[in-house]
């Protein structure tokens, strides 16, 4: 027998016994528990000591030089230093509250001009003022303040969507990015779901996403400009929530997920990226 086959045979003979050892022996040696982990004691290491405070330096303690232009770090402390939306114009539908508002804030803090779109224009106008105030507070040395505007749209109505897009372009000159956050959910048993409510739910969650995405895509293609569209789906588009009955909502969000994938392929040639985020439960207004 040559050296290589003999070596392989020896290896098999040594390893084989280890493969048939009963797992209970291994577990017993390490004193592992087979039951669920106990919840009656706090973790020993993964804790936050409330006595420890890490203070960010005051403005007068920072270097005297101006921030470096073109980086997200120019705008706000939490922003990634390599990420910037400087000079971009973004739209967030359903932007007057909840996740839409928070995502809009993130865009503004990264340097983007922003159009908040909501059926409640009064609330959107209030939030635009608060966003600008927050930006100035966080960025006292910023050389410019992003432009934030409020707009009305019924996302389920094609004419309302087109009018809103035209208004945003008139105010900002262009559109680069879109976040489709407008949506709602309801809980009815499927056998008793009012058909008019089901149609409205689909019109807002699916049609509204489609109408805004296609309108912005047309604008980008006319400009021959790249762009990014982020659709807000839900974990409900991939799993079934328990115990609440919401089959139409789950199906609608599944549709949004696949719509994003389909449009990403269809618009790749135009350098328009389309992605879908599927959040879980959030303690925000919907």
Whether 32 is in a domain gets the answer: no
* 158 is a domain residue: yes
> On the CB side of 77, how many CA atoms lie within 13 Å of its CA?
10
Distance separating the N- and C-terminal Cα atoms of the chain: 74
- Asked if residue 232 is part of any domain, the answer here is yes
Domain span at residue 218 reads 82-277
How far apart are the C-alpha atoms of 193 and 185, rounded to whole Å? 12
- The beta strands (E) that lie in the chain are given as 89-93, 113-118, 148-152, 177-180, 227-232, 272-277
Residue 220: both structure tokens together: 């980008």
Residue 62: per-residue pLDDT: 58
Residue 63 is assigned to a structural domain of this protein = no
Residue 10 domain-assigned (yes or no) = no
Catalytic residue among 112, 234, 236, 278: 234
From 75, 156, 228, 249, active-site residue: 249
What total number of domains does the chain contain? 1
What is this structure's pTM? 0.71
Q: Is residue 267 domain-resident?
A: yes
- The CATH number linked to 179 is 3.40.50.720
pLDDT at 251: 92
φ, ψ of residue 151 in degrees (nearest 5): -145, 150
C-alpha to C-alpha distance for 13 and 71, rounded to whole angstroms: 60
Task: Supply the pLDDT for residue 162.
Answer: 97
Q: Is 253 a catalytic residue?
A: yes
| 247 in Cβ contact with 239 (< 8 Å) | no
Active-site entry in 210, 228, 253, 278: 253
How far is the CA of 244 from the CAs of 7, 99, 133, 249, in angstroms?
61, 21, 39, 11
Whether the Cβ atoms of residue 182 and residue 208 lie closer than 8 Å to each other? yes
Is 197:110 a contact under the CB 8 Å cutoff? no
Mean pLDDT in order along the chain per 10 residues (286 residues): 48 45 47 51 47 61 49 49 84 92 91 94 93 87 89 96 97 97 88 92 95 98 97 87 88 95 97 94 71
């Amino acid at each position: 027998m040559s050296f290589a086959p003999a070596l392989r045979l020896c290896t098999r003979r040594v390893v084989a016994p280890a493969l048939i050892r009963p797992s209970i022996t291994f577990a017993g040696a390490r004193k592992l528990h087979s039951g669920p982990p106990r919840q009656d004691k706090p973790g020993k290491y993964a804790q936050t000591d409330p006595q420890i405070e890490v203070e960010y330096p005051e403005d007068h303690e920072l270097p005297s030089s101006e921030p470096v232009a073109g980086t997200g770090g120019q705008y706000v402390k939490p922003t990634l230093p390599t990420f910037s939306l400087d000079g971009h114009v973004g739209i967030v539908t359903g932007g007057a509250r909840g996740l839409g508002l928070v995502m809009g804030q993130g865009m503004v803090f990264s340097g983007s001009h922003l159009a908040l779109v909501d059926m409640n224009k009064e609330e959107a106008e209030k939030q635009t003022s608060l966003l600008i105030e927050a930006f100035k507070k966080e960025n006292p040395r910023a050389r410019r303040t992003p432009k934030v505007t409020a707009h009305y749209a019924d996302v389920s109505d094609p004419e309302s969507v087109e009018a809103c897009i035209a208004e945003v372009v008139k105010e900002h000159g262009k559109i680069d990015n879109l976040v489709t956050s407008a949506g709602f959910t309801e809980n009815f048993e499927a056998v008793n779901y009012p058909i008019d409510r089901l149609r409205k739910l689909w019109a807002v969650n699916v049609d509204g996403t489609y109408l805004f995405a296609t309108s912005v895509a047309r604008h980008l293609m006319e400009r021959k400009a790249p762009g990014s569209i982020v659709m807000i789906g839900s974990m409900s588009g991939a799993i079934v929530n328990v115990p609440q009955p919401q089959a139409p909502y789950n199906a609608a969000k599944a549709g949004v997920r696949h719509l994003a994938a389909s449009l990403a392929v269809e618009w790749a040639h135009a350098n328009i990226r389309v992605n879908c985020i599927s959040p879980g439960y959030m303690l925000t207004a919907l």
